[in-house]
Amino acid sequence: MISLILKRSAFLEQNHLFKPQFCFQLLSSLTQSQSYNSSPSSQNHSVLPSGYGYLGKKNSGCSSSSLQRLEIPPGILCNGRFYGSQSQTAIEPSTSDGLTVDGIIANNWTILDEDESDWKSHASAIAQSIHLIKKRLKWKNLLVRVRMLSFQLDKPDLWDDPIQASKISREHGLLTGKMNEVKKFEQELLEHIDMIKLSHEENDPELELEAVKALIQMRRSVKEKELEALLVEEHDSCSCFIEVQAGAGGTESMDWASMVMQMYKKWAQRRGYRVTVVDEMPGEIAGIKRATIRVDGENAFGYAKAEDGAHRLVRCSPFDSANRRHTSFAAVAVIPILGEGLSHYHIKESDLRIERFRSGGAGGQHANTTDSAVRITHIPTGITATCQNERSQHSNKASAMAVLQSRLDKLEMARQAQMNAQHTQSLAENTFGNQIRSYVLHPYRMVKDHRTNYKVSNADSVLEGDIDDFILSYLSASLDKDEDEL
């Protein structure tokens, strides 16, 4: 009951807030299109804050009157009955004969294939998709969050802290964009149904066919949105580092580590991401002891984060003269690269120790080497970062600093998450104990994810980078497992 009221009041408020506010809507969609840029290569976090600042300022400025009118502290949600009971039908979008999106779901119409022309089947499929998207977006939380951000945007002292302000306005733009998109879908669905019913009554088969077609089209686009809605966490859109470390077991496990790294390089290339090797420590005979790559592109972290954990290989080792069966592990860590100004951890220059990584001999004019690898140690935490693949010491240092910054950010996020129990689950400790997937090459061939039980028998294609299905099944499983209402 309470949840129903909550939902209604939230709806009510959203409508009041946004519907009549054209300029507000326009601005938030502007903000949204910048921050949620769908082109994979054009993501640039570092330029965002100032742009958002401007939009945010305008944003809060022109909507302030309506926000003030609706200034309700978050706690008042429970008293939303007042609004909800008054104009319930006017608020929840529905068709002319009172059918709502929830109503469509409740009708339980059979969902048939796309090529069937039964409109109820399409409507039902779309309603299900919208429901799933809302669930993945944690709809209820989203509405509350948007409302909270709106209040903060409206505070007169907002711009005393421009960094914080642009952060707020950016998040607000992003979330309202997502919210409005879903609402647009609901509206669109009901409009199509209205049109179908109307044309049916008017006996206009041509128009009816048009409307059904539009519904089919919508069914497809909403289905695509389902996947996009998997990436809803704060840093999902970021680029990332992927680190692979060989477990115990010598050459066999070092070879496995390099196979895992190869898998990610190929996966990233397939997705159109840019891959740069930052750090690589080769094994004595074969493979790698550890390696770090940088993966640049939209949503790289959102997808790759599903790979965080230990990966287990079972095969007959080519490095074992007796060709016995071996089990080896490789640990994978995925770290988001937060944009400038978004870092959680401030590094003090005086806390750093910078060293040539492999230095020997007199150096200087005595030595001509293209090796300018640098290791940076953050003394207070003992965390280190190395880069050796750049062609100048300066670039190696800059690259290692980026790795160090991201590692410290991750540490800081984990620390903050520990204080917030809700998030600890998603940031599971990356140890060899956290085994997420097995790759069996002998005596049978199978790759199985232990978190989702998703498995395929074509192990070779997985090792060639075909891991999208594993990633998507994990992301949807972790988002959709909560049976809670939206």
Rounded-to-integer distance, Cα 131 and Cα 125, Å: 10
Q: Which is nearer to other proteins, 236 or 255 (CB)?
A: 255
User: How are beta strands 239-246 and 325-337 bridged, if at all?
Assistant: antiparallel
Q: How far is the CB of 168 from other proteins (least distance, A)?
A: 33
Q: Which is nearer to other proteins, 369 or 457 (CB)?
A: 369
Is 362 one of the binding residues for other proteins (CB under 8 A)?
yes
CA atoms within 13 A on the CB side of 142: 25
Q: What's the distance, CA 338 to chain centroid?
A: 13
Is 47 one of the binding residues for other proteins (CB under 8 A)?
no
Nearest to 486 by CA among 189, 88, 141, 75: 141
Rounded-to-integer distance, Cα 251 and Cα 223, Å: 45
Q: How far is the CB of 349 from other proteins (least distance, A)?
A: 11
Is 346 one of the binding residues for other proteins (CB under 8 A)?
no
CB 434 within 8 A of CB 310: yes
Q: Which is nearer to other proteins, 32 or 372 (CB)?
A: 372
Q: How many residues in the shown chain lie near other proteins by CB under 8 A?
A: 28
Rounded-to-integer distance, Cα 261 and Cα 292, Å: 9
CB 246 within 8 A of CB 283: yes
Q: What angle do CA 414, 143, 64 make, to 5 degrees?
A: 110
Q: Which of 25, 37, 395, 476 binds other proteins (CB under 8 A)?
A: 395
What is the three-class DSSP state of 212? Answer: helix
User: In the stretch 364-393, what mask flags binding to other proteins with x, by CB under 8 A?
Assistant: xxxxxxxxx-x-------------xxxxxx
Q: How far is the CB of 354 from other proteins (least distance, A)?
A: 6
Q: Which is nearer to other proteins, 239 or 389 (CB)?
A: 389
Is 350 one of the binding residues for other proteins (CB under 8 A)?
no
Stretch that binds other proteins, among 321-329, 352-360, 399-407, 422-430 (CB under 8 A): 352-360
Which pair of tokens denotes residue 133?
Answer: 């998207």
Q: How far is the CB of 383 from other proteins (least distance, A)?
A: 18
User: In the stretch 301-340, what mask flags binding to other proteins with x, by CB under 8 A?
Assistant: ----------------------------------------
Is 363 one of the binding residues for other proteins (CB under 8 A)?
yes
Q: How far is the CB of 447 from other proteins (least distance, A)?
A: 21
Q: How far is the CB of 74 from other proteins (least distance, A)?
A: 46
Stretch that binds other proteins, among 47-55, 151-159, 199-207, 350-358 (CB under 8 A): 350-358
Is 354 one of the binding residues for other proteins (CB under 8 A)?
yes
Instruction: Count CB neighbours of 348 within 10 A.
Output: 9
Please confirm whether the linkage preceding 162 is cis (ω < 30° from 0). Answer: no
Is 269 one of the binding residues for other proteins (CB under 8 A)?
yes
DSSP string, 76-115: GGGGTHHHHHHSHHHHS---TT---HHHHHHHTPPP--TT
Q: How far is CA 49 from CA 24, 53, 141, in A?
A: 19, 6, 25
Q: Which of 20, 282, 380, 433 binds other proteins (CB under 8 A)?
A: 282
Q: CB burial class (10 A; 0-12, 13-18, 19+) of residue 289? A: middle
Q: Which is nearer to other proteins, 142 or 278 (CB)?
A: 278
What is the contact surface with other proteins in residues (CB under 8 A)?
A: 269, 282, 354-356, 359-372, 374, 388-395
